[in-house]
Structure formats: C-alpha cells, structure tokens
C-alpha cells in the first residue's frame, strides 16, 4: 500500500529493527552463524522468537530482527563479489534474515491466519560510505553503493499469501550529525534517489536528526521521513508542515525513548543507585517510558502534524537493551499508547 492510499489505522506502529539477544547467546556468535550459514536451527529459533515478540507486542509492521552489525551486514557481501567496486551483483543482494522470516511467517500464518506486514531495514549508502571512506569524496563510489542498496531492497520485497513487504526503510543515522559528510545536498539526494529507484512499497528513511529533511523531500522515491524525537518532542518543530505537504511527504515519529544509557543514567541520579547491579532497577526506565508519557508524545506530534504522521514507534532499535523482556515491554507500552490515542481521537471525531 502506498503512503498516498487510505489506511485502516490512524497511525501505523513499526519498529526500527535491532533486538536484544536471548540469554546465553552473544551477538557476535549470532552474526557469525548467519554470515557463515552455520547453526541454522538455533538461528531460526532465535529469529522466530524475536519476530514473534514484536507481533505479540502488537507491532503493526514489524522489522525483521537485526542481530548483525548494520554496516558489515551489507558491506561484506557488496565487497565480496561485485560487478564493479561497491556494486553488488543483483543475484547476490539478499538479506538472509528475510529468507528465514518468510519461513517464520508461514508458521505464524498457519497459527493465526493473519498475513504479516513486514518492514525491511537496510543501511543507507551514505552511512555505508562513511564507514568505509570517512570524509573523502568519491561520488562514483557513493553512487555504486546506492545502486547496491536498491538491489537489496528490490530483492527484499515479498508478496506471499502469508507475508508481504509493506515498508522498506533506509537507515541513515549520520545525516545531520556526522561532520565528516562532504557531499553536497544535491549529491546526497541523487544517491538516495538511486537507492530507492526500484522500490514499489512504502519507503521510509530513518534519521536521527531533521537537519536534512528538505534534502529528503527532493527524493521522489522516499515517502516517509523518520526522525528520533522521543527524548525532546519539540525537535519535531524544526520541520515545516507546509514543506512536507508541498512535496507529498509523511512522517514517522519516535514516541518511545531507546537511549538506554541515558535513561539508566537518569535513574542512577534520581535514586542514587547503579541500575546494572540490581536486576530489578533497569525496569525503572518505564517510569519515563510509561504508556501515558508515550501517548502524550504522540498527542503532541499529532497536534503539530495531524494526518501527516504515518508511522510511530520507538526512536531507534532495541539491540542495546538489557533483555528481550524489557524490549517486549516497551513495545507493549507503545501499542497501548497508540490504541488509547486512537480511541481518544475517534471520540473527538464523533463529537465533532
């Protein structure tokens, strides 16, 4: 479904991707196992459990669980066997987790009868370029990386009876934050246009800063601009609603904080404790990330932008959180907040 089509939901709940590892498993072991096609049964169960967590928590458009490094996951295959430097062969541009999720989706469909809306997160060309070349400017390489990302995206679009790719998200956290970026706005817009050229589903870009949102508006292949806002909702006011409407763009807003280090430091200061020494203390993050606070953030965003808010969810991934149980609880709180927001909105709509 395109962003321009009518939705059944007022706001769709999605997540950014990464998830804590299960107890007893190291992220590096999972990453190496996926890269080397080893321990396939255990990897299948790990990905299935994390994906089911997201669905059971109520995420409308869950991202495949990301346990691998966001850069090497794509750079390693791109560099391994390309047509040209940093241009992957189309047949090799595959995300192994998507293959596993297709199987998982079949199992879930048999149990529930619900067709799954999948969100696919792919690291963007600018982020990959920075990890390889820093501040040097080789625009031809950036363009090849962009074409590679487009190939990964096209190969990730599923359309099965039990699961379909609803959203592709290009992850560009450094845009607006990393001073090493030496490409012009026009060059970045061209790169992102190449990276989204072959995508025919909802296309997001995930940013940590809104500085380049006007540049993103120039990219025809991007429908939704996602910005981290939960720690300070006033950041959303740096975006001009009229500008978005002029370019037919929508927003994904972060309404739940995921900066667990900062949240933990705030708890330590408030209670004069060390949250990492007490297994119960980390759960105090839900004093901040309560259903009420998350709902209030969504209310604020909606007052500012109305139905331009297309998606909402946690600011970023949950891979750094202490446990899967805590990550699951945060997702459940977001679900409850969105549901309350929707009921309140409908009541106001009926009263009007």
Full 3-state SS string of 20-82: CCCCCCCHHHHHHHHHHCCCHHHHHHHHHHHHHHHHHHCCCECECCECCCCCHHHHHHHHHCE
| 351: number of Cβ within 10 Å | 6
Which is nearest to 224 in space by CA: 240, 191, 247, 197? 247
CB 228 within 8 A of CB 176: no
Which is nearest to 216 in space by CA: 252, 188, 184? 188
In the beta sheet, which residues pair with residue 119?
63, 167
**Tokens linked to 308:** 């331009």
- Rounded distance, CA 9 to CA 58, Å? 13
- Rounded distance, CA 49 to CA 330, Å? 16
Radius of gyration over every alpha carbon of the chain, rounded to an integer in angstroms? 20
Domain chopping of the chain, boundaries: 12-351
- Altogether, the residues listed in the chain come to a count of 352
Q: At 170, which helix (H) or strand (E)?
A: strand 163-171
| 72: number of Cβ within 10 Å | 15
CATH number for the domain running over 12-351: 3.20.20.210
- Rounded distance, CA 132 to CA 75, Å? 9
| 240: number of Cβ within 10 Å | 12
Backbone angles phi, psi at 75, to 5 degrees: -65, -40
Torsion of Cα atoms, 270 then 271 then 273 then 278, to 10°? -120
What confidence score (pLDDT) does residue 350 get?
67
- Rounded distance, CA 193 to CA 170, Å? 11
In the beta sheet, which residues pair with residue 206?
171, 226
- Rounded distance, CA 179 to CA 209, Å? 13
Q: Which residues of the chain, if any, have pLDDT below 50? A: 1-7
CB 203 within 8 A of CB 223: yes
Q: At 337, which helix (H) or strand (E)?
A: helix 324-351
């Amino acid at each position: 479904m395109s962003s321009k089509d009518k939705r059944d939901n007022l706001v769709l709940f999605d997540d950014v991707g990464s998830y804590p590892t299960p107890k007893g498993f190291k992220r590096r072991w999972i990453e190496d196992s996926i890269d080397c096609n080893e321990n396939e049964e255990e990897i299948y169960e790990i990905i299935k459990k994390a994906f089911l967590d997201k669905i059971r928590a109520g995420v409308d458009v869950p991202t495949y669980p990301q346990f691998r490094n966001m850069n090497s996951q794509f750079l390693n295959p791109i560099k391994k066997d390309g047509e040209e430097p940093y241009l992957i062969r189309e047949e090799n541009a595959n995300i192994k987790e998507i293959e596993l999720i297709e199987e998982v989706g079949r199992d879930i469909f048999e149990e529930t009868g619900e067709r799954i809306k999948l969100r696919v997160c792919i690291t963007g060309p600018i982020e990959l370029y920075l990890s390889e070349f820093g501040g040097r400017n080789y625009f031809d390489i950036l363009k090849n990386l962009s074409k590679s990302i487009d190939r990964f995206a096209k190969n990730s679009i599923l359309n099965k009876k039990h699961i379909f790719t609803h959203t592709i998200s290009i992850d560009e956290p450094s845009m607006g934050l990393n001073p090493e970026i030496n490409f012009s706005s026009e060059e970045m817009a061209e790169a992102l246009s190449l990276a989204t050229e072959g995508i025919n589903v909802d296309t997001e870009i995930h940013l940590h800063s809104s500085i380049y949102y006007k540049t993103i508006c120039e990219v025809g292949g991007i429908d939704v601009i996602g910005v981290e806002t939960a720690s300070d909702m006033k950041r959303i006011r740096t975006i001009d609603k009229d500008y978005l409407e002029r370019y037919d763009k929508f927003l994904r807003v972060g309404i739940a904080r995921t900066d667990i280090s900062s949240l933990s430091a705030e708890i330590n200061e408030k209670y004069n404790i060390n949250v990492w020494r007490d297994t119960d203390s980390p759960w105090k993050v839900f004093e901040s990330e309560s259903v009420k606070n998350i709902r209030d953030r969504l209310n604020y965003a909606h007052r500012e932008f109305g139905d331009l808010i297309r998606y909402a969810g946690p600011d970023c991934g949950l891979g750094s959180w202490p446990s899967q149980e805590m990550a699951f609880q945060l997702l459940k709180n977001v679900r409850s907040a969105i549901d309350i927001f929707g009921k309140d909105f409908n009541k106001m709509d009926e009263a009007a």
